Amino acid sequence: MNTYSFLFTLFLSLQSQVFSEDDFYQVKACCSFNGPNFDKVEYILTTSFNKQKMMEYNSTRGNWIGFTDFSIAISNYWNKVPYHKIQRLVEMKLICYENINTIQTIGNLSTTPSMRLKSVKQPDGRHPAMLVCSAYNFYPKLIKITWLRNDQEVTEGVSNTDAIPVGELYYQFHSYLEYTPTSGEKISCMVEHVTLSEPRIIVWNDSLPEGEKNKIVVGLSGLILGLVIFISGFIYHRKKSAVYNAIRQE
């Protein structure tokens, strides 16, 4: 099978006498699925040597590109050999298409967090106020909440809980911000999750009646998946809003 012979090639290069024990070569294969039925599939193969990105194959573009003089030369050569292209198509079928059901299942389990922003402590002159930004009923587990003051990230006075399992599948997460209110400032809580194609921002509005305060949501967006599946298990990747299926060689 092509996938295995590819890994075997890596093994040989690691054994080569040209390299010291500290040198390593890494290949990452990623499948990105897009569209409601995962009908748009993109296969990206990247090779790195000692963390320096060397080459990238993109199935949509249909060719390799190199990032160093040496790898540019190799890319140009590989792009001319029809067999290399067929090999990439076979890999794409094995790695991306053969796993589409598994990835869809995980994708179907993914749930966008519902968000609440509320104050847990009103300022009383000397003491700062405290806000809590909560995410409920989301899956998968990894989530990031960032506090913004006038659109700048705030790190001081922030504390987070762990993602707390709720029931069999879902999680909840709370982030606290202790701050001294200043008039005219805008405090917001930004949520990033794999099910959100862009961060969701909730603006704190102190002048709204209690109960209305948590309903202002800016930048709500559709659902795109972003899961990483390593061959050894499931881990997911938050960045790209796409499903990745990676072979990792370290």
In this structure, the strands spanning 52-58 and 63-66 are antiparallel
Whole-angstrom Cα distance, residue 235 to residue 231? 10
Q: Which of 40, 61, 80, 121 touches ligand NAG by CB under 6 A?
A: 61
Q: Which is nearer to ligand NAG, 90 or 208 (CB)?
A: 208
For CA atoms 230, 235, 239, 243, the dihedral sign is positive
Considering only residues 90, 166, 208, 218, which one is a binding residue for ligand NAG as defined by CB under 6 A? Answer: 208
Q: Count interface residues toward ligand NAG (CB under 6 A).
A: 14
**CB nearer to ligand NAG: pick between 16 and 207:** 207
Task: Give the interface segment with ligand NAG, choosing from 3-11, 17-25, 103-111, 161-169 (CB under 6 A).
Answer: 103-111
Pick 193 or 213: Cβ nearer ligand NAG: 213
Stretch that binds ligand NAG, among 10-18, 132-140, 202-210, 220-228 (CB under 6 A): 202-210
Q: How far is the CB of 204 from ligand NAG (least distance, A)?
A: 8
Q: HSE, CB side, 13 Å, CA atoms: give it for residue 133.
A: 27
Closest CA to 178 of 230, 105, 123, 137: 123
Cite the beta strand spans of 91-213 per DSSP E.
Answer: 114-121, 129-138, 143-149, 152-154, 158-160, 164-166, 170-179, 187-193, 200-203
Binding site for ligand NAG (CB under 6 A): 42, 44, 58, 60-61, 101, 104-105, 108, 186, 203, 205, 207-208
